Structure 1
Amino acid sequence: MSPRASRASAAENATVVTSQKVREGRTDEYQRWQDKTNRAAREFEGFVAAEVYPPGAGEENEWVTVFRFSDMDHLTAWLDSGRRQDLLQEASELFDGPPKQEVLQGGTPAQQAPDVVTAVISHEVKPGHEQAFLNWQEKTLEAQEKAPGFMGSELFKPVQGVQEHWVVVFRFDSREHLDDWLESDVRSALLDEGRKHFISYDVRKVGSAFSGWFQFDHGKAGTAPPNWKQAMSVVLALYPTVMVLNLTVGVALEKLSVRGYIGLFFSNVLSVSALTWLLMPLVNRGLAFWLVPDRSRSRRVQLLGVAVVMLGYVVSIGVFGLITHQIW
């Protein structure tokens, strides 16, 4: 596919983000109903994917659903369909209040990043203030880029006849960093300034990157780190994982006379699991200053990142050399 065709395809994507507060004690019923709704959406032409995000710890019982279709016509056909209206009527007693919904046109698929949290903020912009609102958003982004943990944003314009609000979707590398930004004095001052241009706004936080459905780079290409950085990071986590498994699980399997090829299978399962859910998230978070392209532009940061990884190699080799009594 040519770059032009790829951009055109991305521009046609359409996503609906809905948040709905579920009544206390009705969560199980809601989840069954949502599964039924997801199955119904899959039967419609143009369906791409659906995701459901539960509320975070300590938050109200507000669930977020995300449906993506190949274009706006197919999405609106689903939203306006009799099938969906019947499903909403069926579940009316499960919900506490009306849903909040934004329809977003565009959004470029991107590589999923681990351990991120997404914020969806919709604004009701005053008529005639559209350009002033855009200028204010640019100023806000400049301040936001300096906030710890910021990983990018996208701005979605209203869709005539479907979505009247302007929606900003941005993400941080942790909920703590997102909350720090949302509660910061800098953002508070920016909001006071922005209220001249919008009537109201609504904030929703989702503990996900929407599976990489958005580029989160404000129009810039290349949000994933280069391959050589990814390879160095994986080795940093892989080497101690393999060594620990060899010294523990490997020894145990050998004592049990488990055949080598079976033992290797179990070791691979354990190492991949440890890397996916434990070590790589930690490495990615610790090396975010070096891995995230927008935060590693200077030569000093590049060299510092390489030095940190190389130091990690040396420390790991030294530790396991001492453990195995093979230090030369």
Structure 2
Amino acid sequence: MSTSTDTPGAVAQDGPLTVSITRRVAPEDELLMQAWVHAGTSMAERFEGFLGAGWVRSGSEDWHMLYRFDSRAHLDAWERSPERLRWLRSAADLVEHRRTEYRTGIEGWFDEPASSSVHEPGAGETPGATAPPRWKQASVIWIAFFPTSLALTYLLLPVAGHWPVVLRVLVTTLLATPWMTYVLLPFVTRLFGRWLRGD
């Protein structure tokens, strides 16, 4: 199998960008693929502007990988870095690059983008993938939000029980937001990936 270097297409605005990449991997190479994905995420985390990453498997061969940066400049710095190019080359015999989509807007991990640019090997621009229904998105967010809110309420009660409501909510949201963004929501999105896509 072979991989290709992903290059961003033109999008309508600057600001946070989410990159969605589809790669095909032989089922027997699952463990190698997991190790390769974790290595890439560990490298990306060291670059300025990195906001998070995740992956979802579709069927036995297709892997949908996401990563997000806070600006086009920081995304370009990662995508053009020697570290990333070496990382991509290390999987030349492991993965086959299928599709890359660059999204701007407030779509988070699965919402509809404000604008998008899609690149496929041997093809021009095509419309972006359809986002899951809003009710499914809301359900997944609630599944992540409820246990987070419940846990923080109990954990902060001994310390913050006598604080004004505004201060308690402020501290709770400051703690919950990075946890939800970087850990729990990507995990829940992967867990319910097939259901979100209607597979």
Q: Compute the TM-score of the two structures, normalised by the length of structure 1.
A: 0.31
Larger Rg: 1
Q: What is the TM-score with the length of structure 2 in the denominator? A: 0.48
Task: Considering Cα pairs closer than 8 Å and 6+ residues apart, tell me whether 1 or 2 has the greater RCO.
Answer: 2
Between structures 1 and 2, the one with greater helix share: 1
